[in-house]
Amino acid sequence: MALISSRRQWKYDVFLSFRGEDTRLGFTTQLYSALIGKGILTFMDDAELEKGKSISPELLAAIEDSRCAIVILSRRYAYSSWCLDELVKIIQCMKELGQQVLPVFYYGVNPSEVRHQRGRFELKWEHQVDVEVREHEEVYGKHEDRLNAWRAALTQVANLSGWDFKNDS
């Protein structure tokens, strides 16, 4: 995989995965600014995401075109089907393209809670998926497969070495 990774032309150095409501106006924006300030090409989705919609092809391409993904696991990250679908794609790219994945366990998130899907990271279809998605479930396929993919991705990202961010400042 290292050979594939070393020859590949990356469009971005870093892809930021985060739940906008939790960290966009604080930590994530500061991290983005610091990375850009150091000349690191960073993708940060700033579009308003429509509830119930699947990830756009542009966002999937940005994930594939990034050398590294920083996943900011905030308290409500797993409440977003969008974030979980994004995480599945990130883990897929880590395995298939050699992308590096760096988790940030944001204030109040314990890696063990993520790894074992406990507390805020316990996945249940009725909690994770917006009403619009549940009403149009046939568009998204079997929900059990999707839940299993989310669970596997959360376990894998929690098993990676990352940063434990302890405070809000």
Query: Out of 48, 50, 58, 86, which one is annotated catalytic?
Result: 86
86: annotated active-site residue: yes
> How many of the other CB atoms lie within 10 Å of CB of 165?
17
Q: How far is CA 85 from the centre of its chain?
A: 8
- Measured between its terminal Cα atoms, the distance across the chain in Å is 38
Q: Partners of 14 in the beta sheet? A: 42, 68
Which residues in 89-104 are b (16+ Cβ under 10 Å) and which e? bbbbbbeebebebebb
- Catalytic (active-site) positions: 86
